[in-house]
Amino acid sequence: MKTIYLGLSGDIIHPGIINIIKEASKHGEVLVGLLTDSAIASHKRLPYLNWQQRLEVVENLKGVSKVVPQEEWSYIPNLKKYKPDAIIHGDDWNTGPLKKEREEVIALMNETGGKVIEIPYTKGVNSSALNEAIRSLGTTPDIRLKTLRRLIEFKKPVRIMEAHSGVSALIVENLEIEKDDGLHSYDGIWSSSLTDSTSKGKPDIEAVDLTTRLQDLTNILECTTKPIIFDGDTGGKPEHFVFTVRTLERNGISAVIIEDKIGLKKNSLFGTDVLQELASIPEFCEKLSVGKRAQITKDFMIIARLESLIAGKPVSDALERARAYVSAGADGVMIHSKEKSGDDIKEFCQEFRAEFNEIPIILVPTTYNQFTEKELVGWGATIIIYANHMLRASYPAMMNVAKLILENERSLEADKLCMPISQILELIPGGK
């Protein structure tokens, strides 16, 4: 029999999927190219089910003869490898982001003597709407907790944006833009101690207990589904850090990042005259080890933030600390610097990556923001955090509106800077 190739993600099985399998089986044996997690994550949201789970589902669908992995978003590599007699696809790829993919497939099949079968896209079925409906149901702490490790495995970079309130978190949760290489969105949320305290009008000092931080974090947890990385400052005393780890893990937070400084917290963005003292390597290693022993699941991550470069130490000091922290159980390292050139960060990343191929490197390119995500990944970056931009954007916007109203003694002139309240309500689930 002839072989008919069908590419599927298989994350949501709806009538349209059943229909196209039926149509494909009329022409021959159905060979399903099941997109891997990395292939999907490179162009859209990470699938809800992992590849093995989706494989089990698709293998048992009536009409499917064989399932093979499709490692790339493009059909071309698998079409060259398996040389099917035909490929089948819905006619929805005649327009939109898949149009270029369609042209490449047609050219290849013409070259090899194969056939392209197009069928009408099943009416009344919208995969994006189904995804949105599932997302609106929310998530569980267990599912949210596991997502960050899945993203790290299948996507580079993992793109994280700061949120300090429910509304800012909803923007991070829902914002998507279509680009030539697929759908771009934020993969998770950074819960920053700086933006959390500043949004309350308080200084960024490590005097707020975890309970207070969690009260605000709960607002974010209740209206989002994406993984959250928690800024744990220094982590406090080791015996306190144990409870921090267990509390965060229980609430479904994916990771905590703690920095190797001691004493009363002073923000790293200020000058060297207010720098904190670095913790000794054995002291910080013990804190990491205590935290790792305290966690219940293997999915929770404890990441070590290196302050060597902030403290004026050389890259060699940061690398020495990084090696020790990884040996102590750190699940990743964040390297921080105030240098605008980014040279010290690049040097660290390249040398660390030469020794540790799989350990995640987390970068916060606030000062060296001239580099693109692609360039930072080229250095070895795994996660990129935009650590305070939502808060920094909100202050001048509010200041400008308040100033316009004062100047004009009415709000008409401020309307152009304000989002209609109806649109804000649409952003909030159940707000309309």
pLDDT in tens, 333-386: 999 999 999 999 999 999 999 999 999 999 999 999 999 999 999 999 999 999
Q: What is the mean pLDDT of each run of 10 residues along the chain (432 residues)?
A: 94 90 96 95 86 95 96 95 96 84 94 94 65 66 94 94 94 89 90 88 67 86 94 92 95 97 64 68 97 96 97 96 98 95 97 97 97 97 97 94 96 93 76 60
The 10s digit of each residue's pLDDT in 255-291 is 999 999 986 555 555 544 445 689 999 999 999 999 9
Residue 272: per-residue pLDDT: 45
Residue 59: per-residue pLDDT: 95
Q: Where are the beta strands (DSSP E) in 77-205?
A: 86-90, 115-119, 158-162, 176-179, 182-185, 188-191
Cα 325 to Cα 303: distance, rounded to the nearest angstrom:
9
Q: Report the side by side order of strands in the sheet with 3-8.
A: 64-70, 29-35, 3-8, 86-90, 115-119
Mean pLDDT of the chain: 90
Residue 431: per-residue pLDDT: 60
Tell me the three state secondary structure of residue 162: strand
Residue 274: per-residue pLDDT: 43
Q: How far is CA 423 from CA 82, 420, 431, in A?
A: 49, 5, 10
In sequence order, which residues have a C-beta less than 8 Å from that of residue 252 and are 6 or more positions away? Answer: 139, 140, 141, 142, 143, 144, 145, 221, 228
Residue 124: per-residue pLDDT: 61
Indicate the pTM of the whole model. 0.84
Tell me the three state secondary structure of residue 235: coil
Q: Which of 127, 129, 98 is nearest to 13 (CA)?
A: 127
In sequence order, which residues have a C-beta less than 8 Å from that of residue 246 and are 6 or more positions away? Answer: 294, 295, 296
What positions carry a catalytic annotation? 204
